[in-house]
Amino acid sequence: MQVEWLYSGDPWANAYVAGNILVDAGVMPMAVAPYKEQIETIVLTHCHFDHIARVKEIAHMCKAKVAIHKEDARGLVDDLHSLAMHFGARSPGIVPDILLAEGDTIGDFVVLHTPGHTPGCICLYSEKDRLLFSGDTVFADGYFGRYDFPGGSRAELARSLDRLSALDVEGLFAGHGAPTEENGSRCIAAAVGLMKSGYG
């Protein structure tokens, strides 16, 4: 599967185009514009503002449905949960079209509920293509997401990392930093080891 990495620079999160899916929407709409005819669904890995900032405009441009885990949906309208005030902004103020839950399928991907960074964090996994879109749960440099924001939990994040470590992952496409198209499982294993060492 071809994955296009869309990057807007710090502090904005990565976005990715995979088939008719856009993963996360913190990037500028002009970065998404070349793909607007193919994108049908925007999947938000969680509700933090750097991942959702332009979802309203991008959804309108692409005529796409917006999907987010039910535990993070309120972040689309609640500035506290989206951390929008940290960016001097307000939440997008939209209601999602699709409320995701563990085991749902979006295109070729299965939704994995991986709380810890936020209560409604998700990853998207394709067993066939060995691809994982991991949001801020785990990064390709072997680190894991923060758990000190409202709704975060170190214990839940540790369980989520353990769960991801059981997957066969080649391509790891995270919310921040450069993605990797090989050895994704090794990156996850490194994050598990870091967590168990007491880091953070």
pLDDT tens-digit series, residues 105-144: 999 999 999 999 999 999 999 999 999 999 999 999 999 9
* Structure token pair of residue 11: 């502090």
DSSP code for 188: H
pLDDT at 7 over 80: yes
CA triple 123-153-190, angle to 5 deg: 60
* Structure token pair of residue 181: 């198209």
* Structure token pair of residue 117: 């960074």
Average pLDDT for residues 155-164, to the nearest whole number? Answer: 98
- Per the CB < 8 A criterion, the answer to whether 15 and 32 are in contact is yes
Instruction: For domain 3-196, give the CATH superfamily.
Output: Ribonuclease Z/Hydroxyacylglutathione hydrolase-like (3.60.15.10)
Q: Which residues contact 58 (CB under 8 A, 6 or more apart)?
A: 22, 25, 29, 32, 42, 64
| Residue the block writes with tokens 């506290």 | 80
- Who wins on pLDDT, 199 or 7? 7
The 10 Å CB-count burial string (b at 16+, else e) for 79-108 is bebbbbeebeeebbeeebebebeeebebeb
Domain ranges of the chain: 3-196
Convert the pLDDT of each residue in 37-63 to its tens digit: 999 999 999 999 999 999 999 999 999
Q: How many CA atoms lie within 13 A of 76 on its CB side?
A: 25
The candidate with the shortest Cα–Cα distance to 164, out of 180, 181, 184, is 184
pLDDT at 9 over 90: no
Give the pLDDT of residue 163: 98
* Structure token pair of residue 12: 């904005």
Q: What is the rounded CA–CA span in Å between residue 117 and residue 156?
A: 8
pLDDT at 91 over 90: yes
Q: How many CA atoms lie within 13 A of 137 on its CB side?
A: 34
Convert the pLDDT of each residue in 64-79 to its tens digit: 999 999 999 999 999 9
Its pTM stands at: 0.97
CA 102 to chain centre: 14
